């Protein structure tokens, strides 16, 4: 982590799952960190972290945020779970496009050296059980229920490419396409949470019955946030030109598998489980090829699903809603 020593680093979305854990990692690196937050209160405190409250859909706030920065980790996003996406799909579109476009432009004119942005595997067209490669993002339409968020991600990726390789004075842009990220400080609110934290909460609270949206056959690749942060730091250190990487665990599990593991790890032996197929369901299979990440970044995920679940369960027990 000596790479970041005395560097001026901006972290947006600093009070979210990725932002909090990234700050914890960077706080001991010797970097001079500016951490942007919007609604949630700051969590990580350290002498080299300065928090700035900002609304990144406002141009002036973007310009203030990036001023004087060397590196930008753009983790801020308007996110939600299946229920919100089904009811109000546009909630993911305009705010994110405005924020991403304005922050990229502000960073470029502030002469930021490297800009790393978290895209998503939701932009990929359906490929069934076959792991999808980075080159396939635009080979077809996104999965129908991800059409809105998928094209928002694609549009921002095009912007990253413009700044990263199409301008006479390019700014190094790095796009990471993670699968499902989970771990300590995740979002456990049912209205906005993803599948794993929602299941963890239901198990820890000993809900009976445990109602699971869908049939439980949906397939997911889940990467622990510590592994995600490691990839982000490696990419920022190693990559010097516009680049795109899939990021995931490299193993897939059905929702039933995840629930079974969670019940076992937390010792909930007599839970009644009900699968509700009438509730909003998302993409049936999400599986990505990690060859490029392993070859260029020299990284393979270290935290197994069992290890990650144990840590997440323990954290939520200590920090219930």
Phi/psi for 93 (5° steps) reads: -90, -75
H helix runs in the chain, sequence order = 17-26, 59-66, 82-87, 94-109, 147-161, 195-204, 225-238, 255-265, 291-296, 305-318
Burial track 60-85 (b if 16+ CB lie within 10 A, e otherwise) = ebbbbbbeebbbbbbbbbbbbbbebb
- At residue 84, the pLDDT reads 64
- For residue 167, say if its preceding peptide bond is cis, omega within 30 degrees of 0: no
Q: In the chain, where are the structural domains located? A: 2-183+223-250+287-302
Pick the CATH number of 2-183+223-250+287-302 from 3.40.630.180, 3.40.50.720, 3.40.30.10, 3.40.47.10: 3.40.50.720
* Rounded Cα gap, residues 256 and 212, in angstroms: 9
pTM > 0.85: yes
- At residue 78, the pLDDT reads 82
Identify whether the C-beta of residue 200 lies closer than 8 Å to the C-beta of residue 309: yes
- At residue 16, the pLDDT reads 96
- At residue 145, the pLDDT reads 83
Strand partners of residue 175: 117, 244
Strand-pair category, 49-53 with 71-74: unpaired
Phi/psi for 243 (5° steps) reads: -150, 155
The SS3 call for residue 176 is strand
Number of C-beta neighbours around residue 143 at 10 A: 19
Q: Profile the chain (321 residues) by mean pLDDT over runs of 10 residues.
A: 93 98 97 96 97 98 98 89 67 92 98 98 92 97 90 97 98 97 96 92 97 92 98 98 98 96 97 89 86 98 98 97 91
């Amino acid at each position: 982590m000596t790479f970041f020593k005395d560097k001026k680093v901006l972290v947006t979305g600093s009070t979210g799952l990725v932002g909090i854990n990234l700050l914890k990692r960077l706080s001991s690196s010797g970097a001079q960190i500016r951490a942007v937050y919007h609604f949630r209160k700051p969590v990580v405190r350290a002498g080299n972290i300065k928090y700035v409250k900002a609304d990144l859909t406002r141009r002036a706030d973007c310009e203030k945020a990036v001023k004087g920065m060397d590196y930008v980790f753009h983790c801020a996003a308007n996110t939600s779970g299946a229920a919100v996406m089904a009811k109000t799909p546009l909630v993911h579109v305009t705010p994110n496009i405005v924020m991403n476009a304005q922050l990229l432009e502000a960073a470029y004119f502030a002469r930021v050296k490297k800009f790393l942005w978290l895209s998503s595997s939701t932009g990929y067209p359906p490929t069934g059980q076959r792991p999808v490669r980075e080159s396939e993002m635009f080979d077809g339409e996104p999965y129908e229920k991800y059409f809105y968020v998928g094209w928002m991600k694609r549009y921002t990726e095009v912007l990253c490419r413009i700044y990263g390789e199409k301008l006479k004075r390019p700014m190094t842009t790095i796009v990471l396409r993670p699968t499902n990220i989970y771990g300590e400080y995740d979002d456990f609110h049912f209205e906005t949470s993803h599948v794993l934290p929602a299941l963890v909460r239901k198990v820890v609270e000993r809900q009976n019955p445990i109602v699971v949206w869908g049939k439980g056959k949906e397939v997911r690749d889940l990467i622990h946030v510590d592994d995600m942060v490691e990839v982000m730091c490696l990419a920022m250190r190693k990559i010097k030109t516009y680049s795109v990487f899939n990021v995931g665990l490299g193993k897939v599990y059905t929702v039933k598998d995840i629930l079974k593991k969670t019940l076992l790890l937390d010792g909930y032996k007599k839970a009644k489980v009900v699968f509700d197929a009438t509730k909003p369901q998302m993409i049936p299979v999400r599986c990505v090829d990690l060859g490029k990440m392993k070859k260029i970044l020299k990284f393979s995920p270290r935290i197994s699903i069992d290890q990650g679940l144990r840590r997440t369960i323990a954290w939520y027990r200590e920090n219930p809603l």
